[in-house]
């Protein structure tokens, strides 16, 4: 039986641990040759150690696959270019980019520093842009040269970004930006036969173990395993997913769903006089669905402090 990603070349960022590691192993198990990128830093982005990436490479080789490690900083222009070049130089092609790397610097808005904001935006948002941009340039040149392309970009957003979570204005803004980036890039790259999708994972990892309620049973721990995220990412990376683009998927041990995104709700004719806006907005709010909570469902959004 043919493997989903047989012979395809993949880059996975932040692949030394957690969700990224599961992506790399799953892609390799389905026949992909993998560039395992990881700085090996701490959760806040400090430090660096290539050994986690090397360990994943060793695991892939032990299962009979092909992989190389890469320690470039994907939030830098030059680093992201070197990462994409590593795939082409090592395996002769590039088909898949999984943008997974991330850090946390959680803080309430009133206490957040400029550095905490900048660091998170840089790693998540610019760290998605850089590899995607260089990969897109590679596929464009392939298309111009008349060579067949079948590119896949799979980004990592978050329910914190698409639904909202306290204490994460920096992280949530970056992740919401990634969701919008995904939709727009999908429109732009369709002409090169490249799809762009995103996954919002819910899993217990080094980054999330201090957030929310800790699992109390083995069953709860299993449902929050990062292994549940890799199947949808691996499928999206395959030729089977050629017709799927511009979509945001939620994935966890509890659900696989599509987040439907922004839609225009109840509307009213324009109102010129601001003193008459209040009753109109009240009627619109009464007819509109409330914002979703972190579970993606209606009715869980906090009420206005007024």
- Nearest alpha carbon to residue 26 among 67, 54, 72: 67
Q: Identify the H or E element spanning 98.
A: strand 96-99
Render each residue's pLDDT in the chain as its tens digit; 306 residues: 789 999 999 999 999 999 999 999 999 999 999 999 999 756 655 656 789 999 999 999 999 999 999 999 999 999 999 999 999 999 999 999 999 999 999 999 999 999 999 999 999 999 999 999 999 999 999 999 999 999 999 999 999 999 999 999 999 999 999 999 999 999 999 999 999 999 999 856 545 555 556 656 666 666 778 899 999 999 999 999 999 999 999 999 989 999 998 999 999 999 999 999 999 999 999 999 999 988 888 766 664 433
Cβ–Cβ < 8 Å for 163, 293: yes
Domain ranges of the chain: 9-259, 266-306
* Domain 9-259 class, CATH top level: alpha beta
Chain position carrying tokens 């060793």: 58
Q: How many CB atoms lie within 10 A of CB 57?
A: 24
Residue 171 catalytic?
A: yes
Cβ–Cβ < 8 Å for 70, 37: yes
Q: Which of 117, 129, 138, 171 is catalytic?
A: 171
Q: DSSP state, 275? A: G
Cβ–Cβ < 8 Å for 124, 175: yes
| Residues whose CB is less than 8 angstroms from the CB of residue 148 and which lie 6 or more positions away in sequence, other chains included | 142, 193
Please, where are the H alpha helices in the chain?
18-29, 51-62, 77-91, 114-121, 127-144, 159-162, 169-189, 218-223, 230-236, 277-287
Pairing of strands 248-251, 194-201: parallel
Q: DSSP state, 303? A: P
């Amino acid at each position: 039986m043919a493997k989903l990603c047989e012979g395809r070349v993949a880059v996975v960022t932040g692949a030394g641990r957690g969700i990224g590691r599961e992506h790399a192993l799953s892609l390799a198990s389905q026949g992909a040759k993998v560039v395992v990128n990881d700085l090996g830093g701490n959760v806040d982005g400090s430090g660096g150690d290539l050994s986690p990436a090397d360990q994943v490479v060793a695991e892939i080789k032990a299962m009979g696959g092909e992989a190389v490690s890469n320690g470039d900083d994907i939030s830098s222009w030059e680093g992201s270019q070197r990462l994409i070049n590593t795939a082409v130089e090592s395996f002769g092609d590039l088909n898949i980019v999984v943008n997974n790397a991330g850090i946390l610097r959680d803080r309430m808005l009133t206490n957040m520093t400029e550095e905490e904001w900048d660091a998170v935006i840089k790693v998540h948002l610019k760290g998605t842009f850089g590899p995607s941009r260089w990969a897109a340039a590679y596929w464009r040149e392939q298309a111009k040269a008349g060579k067949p392309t079948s590119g896949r970009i799979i980004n990592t957003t978050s329910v914190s970004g698409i639904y909202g979570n306290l204490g994460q204005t920096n992280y949530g803004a970056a992740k919401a930006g990634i969701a919008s980036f995904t939709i727009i890039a999908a429109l732009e790259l369709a002409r090169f036969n490249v799809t762009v999708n995103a996954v919002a994972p819910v899993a217990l990892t080094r980054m999330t173990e201090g957030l929310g309620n800790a699992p109390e049973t083995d069953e709860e721990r299993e449902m929050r395993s990062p292994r549940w995220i890799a199947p949808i990412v691996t499928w999206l990376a395959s030729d089977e997913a050629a017709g799927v683009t511009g979509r945001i998927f939620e994935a966890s041990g509890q659900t696989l769903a599509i987040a439907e995104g922004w839609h225009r709700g109840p509307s009213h004719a324009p109102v010129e006089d601001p003193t008459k806006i209040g009753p109109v907005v009240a009627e619109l709010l009464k007819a509109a669905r409330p914002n979703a909570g972190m579970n993606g469902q209606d009715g869980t959004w906090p009420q206005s402090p007024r």
